[in-house]
Amino acid sequence: MHNTDLMFQILTFTCDACRKVILHVPSQLDAEKFVGRVNLKECFQSANLIHSSDPDFQILEDGSVYTTNAVLLSSEERSFTILLYDTENQEEKKILVLLQHQTKVLKKRHSKEKVLRRAKRRWAPIPCSMLENSLGPFPLFLQQIQSDTAQNYTIYYSIRGPGVDREPKNLFYVERDTGNLYCTRAVDREEYESFELIAFATTPDGYTPELPLPLVIRIEDENDNYPIFTETTYVFTVSENCRVGSTVGQVCATDKDEPDTMHTRLKYSIIEQLPAYPTLFSMHPTTGVITTSSSQLDREVIDKYQLKIKVQDMDGQYFGLHTTSTCIINIGDVNDNLPTFTRTSYVTSVEENTVDVEILRVTVEDKDLMNTANWRANYTILKGNENGNFKIVTDPKTNEGVLCVVKPLNYEERQQVNLQIGVVNEAPYSKEASSRSVMSTATVTVNVKNQDEGPECSPAVQTVQIKENVPAGTKSNGYKAYDPETRSSSGIRYKKLTDPKGWVTVDENEGSITIFRSLDREAESVRGGIYNITVLASDKDGRTCTGTLGIILEDVNDSGPVIPKQTVVICKTVMSSADIVAVDPDGPTNGPPFDFSLDSDADSDIERKWRLTKINDTAARLFFQEDLPFGTYRVPVRVTDRHGLSLITPLNVMLCNCVTENDCTLRTDTRTGHGEVRLGKWAILAILLGIALLFCILFTLVCGGTGAAKQPKVFPDDLAQQNLIVSNTEAPGDDKICSTNGFTAHTVGSSAQGICGTLGSGAKNGGQETIEMVKGGHQTLESCRGTGHHHTLDSCRGGHVDVDNCRYTYSEWHSFTQPRLGEESVRGHTLIKN
């Protein structure tokens, strides 16, 4: 686009915006040059069709006026009409556009000639604009400001604001006398969108007849900025075989020109595709979203496309500015190709009895992207592996299927195995399963090679049946091994490896057994009536196998029933009997029901002392019939099985003074034969607890006596609350006195020494009894004199007080305490009588 001088001023008559628009233009306009902008919305809001009456001019949707051809204004004015149509409502409106060429600007301050005749007051904001990047000539006239007061006064005009006295300085100035406003140089709208100036009208003496007038100078945008893509190269990925309309990606561009104008109305398009055929992508012209226009994307054919894309302003019109960019679209792989075997059948071989060996590798072809889940193969055996002899795995490096033997094959059973194998990908197949088979298959024939094998011990466990009481030297069948090729046992030798009891011998040539010692079914080494020996079979080449021979011992009634628990405890105080249980090592046919009886041959009194009653087939109850003393008794009990075979079990019956069996045990003195009582753990524990309790009581008394020494020695007022001892006998026994926290006197009869001391026989004086009272635990009673007696009560802690301070006669005590006894009896006094 050419840069030329252009100045215009848009003036609309407020009376009717649709009538006339005046644009001031240069005398010469180039083609496709921006002339100005008309506000179409103010005239006709619902217009959907715009037309110019002059073919030299084109009107865009936003009201921008452009020249279509070069225009030369031969006269000072040229006009054309903008036609606005509303096709839905069948309405039409017109706007007259007048193009005026500026030839001369009047400089007389009070000239009656005016550029614009106004009906209202002239000192008012006038819309003013200028085109950015204007080339002049400068100074460039913009408009004239005038005050009505100029008719009466000499008026000087001045301006201030950005572009005058603030940056960018000296861009605008106004002629003092005429009010003509000029611009001194070109302006970039992307740097300054508008200028807000303040105009002043003053008289020479400084009087201001008008208020400051705000002037807004709007910089009209010129389409001087190319739209720019946000990236030089866009890279997107879309899956192959995707549906038509699938989103690939979105591109975006920016334009520094004025927003919401045709200069920034962008349109996107694809101008080239590589490879060019077929066309697979489309672009939304407004949003820049790229979508697929075909479902024939196939990565295996073409895995990448390159688009050359364009963005153009002016809504994509041919004279708009445009730029291009590159978009690379990678085609993502999906599992749309099945792996297929390179061969449909394979033949391999393996020796029998071999295991964990690789016998075959199979290969597949897959067109999907290598080393992805869409390409990696999963192999499986579909048929022929019912016995689990084979497995097939994937080699992660080569993607081959590796067939292995994991369980040995037997040539004598099968000489050939036919397998069917299949292969799929790790990722599921993306296409419809009905369109084709989702699994490729192949057959594998495995030939089994024969080996010269040693003897085979099969079955590994063999059995023979022998009665347990057969005599030594008895022969029986033994263990048999065979040659797997001939299925014969000839030429095989046998050797006994294990024989826990050494009961049998094994024939070297035939494997039969001979009884060497008497067999016992009830022996410990016999489990469930079966005695096991191990036999080694070998051929002439020294190859061997091992088997087990189970000798099933038929039961013979050769063992009598016994009582396992031969020590019986009877707690005599709580029970009078004990239960006994018998068992028979023989089998059930030679066992219960049992018969229990006492054997009186050893002791004739046994039946007088003891009695047996049967509980069930295997148990009986033993009673003692006399009041036997505690001790251990020997009681022989005979138990007889169902076939009459019996056995005597001597029981040790312990009679004990206990509650449970663990409370007490008895033992028999081997020298005297008498039972000796031995305390059980509970009895010992009870004794220890009693001793501990006694020590606690003694410790409490000692501590209480120590504290009582601090009490005053006067006769207490609450004597009635103390403990009194009254002896009403002529000659009472020895009394035991122990002082505690208060006055205490205890009579315990003639017994061991008291804690603090003893008081001998009570002193009787003329038939009058004497009561001794001790107040406090630290006092000492030196004497309580009677006939021929002298006793001393020492303090528990060695204190000493004269006896006169704590001894009173019975009459004194009686007269003092008797009235109080009735009152205080409810308070817990104790009167102890001997």
Of the candidate ranges 9-13, 542-546, 722-726, the one whose mean pLDDT is the lowest: 9-13
- Distance CA(467)–CA(552), nearest Å, equals 8
DSSP type of residue 90: T
Q: How far is CA 76 from CA 100, 144, 588, in A?
A: 6, 19, 142
Q: Are strands 764-765 and 194-202 parallel, antiparallel or unpaired?
A: unpaired
Can you tell me whether residue 108 is helix, strand or coil?
A: coil
Structural domains in the chain, sorted by start: 21-101 (2.60.40), 128-220 (2.60.40.60), 228-332 (2.60.40.60), 340-449 (2.60.40.60), 461-554 (2.60.40.60), 567-656 (2.60.40.60)
In this prediction, residue 557 carries a pLDDT of 75
Residues in CB range of 28: below 8 A, 6 or more apart: 4, 70, 71, 72, 73
If phi > 0 it is left, if psi is from -120 to 50 it is alpha, else beta; for residue 372 that is: beta
In this prediction, residue 822 carries a pLDDT of 45
Nearest to 747 by CA among 761, 767, 768: 761
Residue 779 has pLDDT above 70, yes or no: no
- Distance CA(808)–CA(715), nearest Å, equals 10
Residues in CB range of 215: below 8 A, 6 or more apart: 125, 126, 128, 145, 159, 181, 196, 197, 198, 199
Of the pLDDT bands very low, low, confident and very high (cuts 50, 70, 90), residue 77 is confident
In this prediction, residue 19 carries a pLDDT of 66
Of the pLDDT bands very low, low, confident and very high (cuts 50, 70, 90), residue 453 is confident
In this prediction, residue 811 carries a pLDDT of 46
Mean pLDDT value of segment 130-137: 87
Residue 707 host element (H or E): helix 681-708
Written as six digits, the tokens of 115 are 């550029």
Q: Which residue has better confidence, 724 or 418?
A: 418
Cα 165 to chain centroid distance, Å, stands at 71
In this prediction, residue 742 carries a pLDDT of 36
DSSP type of residue 211: -
Per-residue pLDDT tens over the stretch 83-101: 888 888 888 888 888 887 7
Residues in CB range of 239: below 8 A, 6 or more apart: 246, 297, 331, 332, 333, 334
Residues in CB range of 348: below 8 A, 6 or more apart: 359, 360, 403, 444, 445, 446, 447
At CA 821, angle to CA 815 and CA 823, rounded to 5? 125
At CA 523, angle to CA 519 and CA 527, rounded to 5? 100
Per-residue pLDDT tens over the stretch 696-713: 998 888 886 655 444 444
Mean pLDDT value of segment 147-152: 88
Residue 732 has pLDDT above 90, yes or no: no
- Distance CA(146)–CA(492), nearest Å, equals 140
Of the pLDDT bands very low, low, confident and very high (cuts 50, 70, 90), residue 379 is very high
- Distance CA(773)–CA(729), nearest Å, equals 19
Average pLDDT, the chain: 77
Mean pLDDT value of segment 551-563: 81
Per-residue pLDDT tens over the stretch 196-205: 999 999 999 9
Nearest to 227 by CA among 149, 171, 288, 147: 288
Residues in CB range of 559: below 8 A, 6 or more apart: 522, 584, 585, 586, 590, 645
Of the pLDDT bands very low, low, confident and very high (cuts 50, 70, 90), residue 259 is very high
> Which residue's structure tokens are 């990236």?
231
Q: Which residue has better confidence, 201 or 780?
A: 201
Of the pLDDT bands very low, low, confident and very high (cuts 50, 70, 90), residue 760 is very low
Of the candidate ranges 3-17, 320-334, 469-483, the one whose mean pLDDT is the lowest: 3-17
Residues in CB range of 811: below 8 A, 6 or more apart: 768
Written as six digits, the tokens of 751 are 């017994």
> Does the N-terminal peptide bond of residue 459 adopt cis geometry, omega within 30 degrees of 0?
yes
Of the pLDDT bands very low, low, confident and very high (cuts 50, 70, 90), residue 264 is very high
In this prediction, residue 289 carries a pLDDT of 96
Mean pLDDT value of segment 790-797: 36
Mean pLDDT value of segment 797-812: 41
Helix-then-strand count for the chain, H and E = 4, 58
Of the candidate ranges 112-116, 216-220, 317-321, the one whose mean pLDDT is the lowest: 112-116
- Distance CA(326)–CA(232), nearest Å, equals 7
Q: Which residue has better confidence, 220 or 762?
A: 220
Q: What percent of the chain has pLDDT over 90?
A: 31
Alpha helices in 75-118 (DSSP H): none
In this prediction, residue 257 carries a pLDDT of 92
Mean pLDDT value of segment 787-805: 37
Mean pLDDT value of segment 155-165: 94
Mean pLDDT value of segment 721-735: 40
Can you tell me whether residue 366 is helix, strand or coil?
A: coil
- Distance CA(685)–CA(718), nearest Å, equals 44
Give me the residues paired with residue 746 across strands: 736
Per-residue pLDDT tens over the stretch 512-529: 899 888 888 878 888 888
Give residue 659's identity as a one-letter amino acid code.
V
- Distance CA(568)–CA(571), nearest Å, equals 10
> Does the N-terminal peptide bond of residue 275 adopt cis geometry, omega within 30 degrees of 0?
yes
Virtual torsion, Cα 414, 416, 420, 421, nearest 10 deg: 100
In this prediction, residue 121 carries a pLDDT of 63
Residue 392 has pLDDT above 90, yes or no: yes
Cβ 584 vs Cβ 559: under 8 Å: yes
Cβ 774 vs Cβ 810: under 8 Å: no
Residues in CB range of 557: below 8 A, 6 or more apart: 586, 590, 641, 643, 645
Residue 7 has pLDDT above 70, yes or no: no
DSSP type of residue 315: G
HSE-up of 591 (CA within 13 Å, CB side)? 13
Cα 689 to chain centroid distance, Å, stands at 56
- Distance CA(655)–CA(677), nearest Å, equals 10
Of the pLDDT bands very low, low, confident and very high (cuts 50, 70, 90), residue 34 is confident
Residue 26 has pLDDT above 90, yes or no: no
In this prediction, residue 584 carries a pLDDT of 82
Per-residue pLDDT tens over the stretch 295-316: 889 898 999 999 999 999 999 9
Can you tell me whether residue 815 is helix, strand or coil?
A: helix
In this prediction, residue 680 carries a pLDDT of 55
Residue 535 has pLDDT above 90, yes or no: yes
Edge to edge, what strands does the sheet with 544-554 contain? 461-467, 544-554, 530-538, 493-498
Can you tell me whether residue 151 is helix, strand or coil?
A: helix
Mean pLDDT value of segment 423-435: 75
- Distance CA(509)–CA(481), nearest Å, equals 11
Of the pLDDT bands very low, low, confident and very high (cuts 50, 70, 90), residue 474 is confident
Written as six digits, the tokens of 472 are 């030594």
Residue 562 has pLDDT above 50, yes or no: yes
Q: What percent of the chain has pLDDT over 70?
A: 76
Which burial class, exposed, middle or buried, applies to 783 when counting CB atoms under 10 A from its CB (0-12, 13-18, 19+)?
middle
Cβ 531 vs Cβ 513: under 8 Å: no
Burial 292-319 (b: 16+ CB within 10 A, else e): beeeebebeeeeebebebbbbbbbbeee
In this prediction, residue 171 carries a pLDDT of 94
Q: pTM value? A: 0.48
- Distance CA(503)–CA(519), nearest Å, equals 7
Mean pLDDT value of segment 533-543: 88
Q: How far is CA 111 from CA 108, 176, 177, 178, 313, in A?
A: 5, 15, 12, 9, 46
> Which residue's structure tokens are 């102890």?
832
In this prediction, residue 769 carries a pLDDT of 36
Residues in CB range of 466: below 8 A, 6 or more apart: 474, 476, 515, 519, 551, 552, 553, 554
Of the candidate ranges 521-525, 590-594, 771-775, the one whose mean pLDDT is the lowest: 771-775
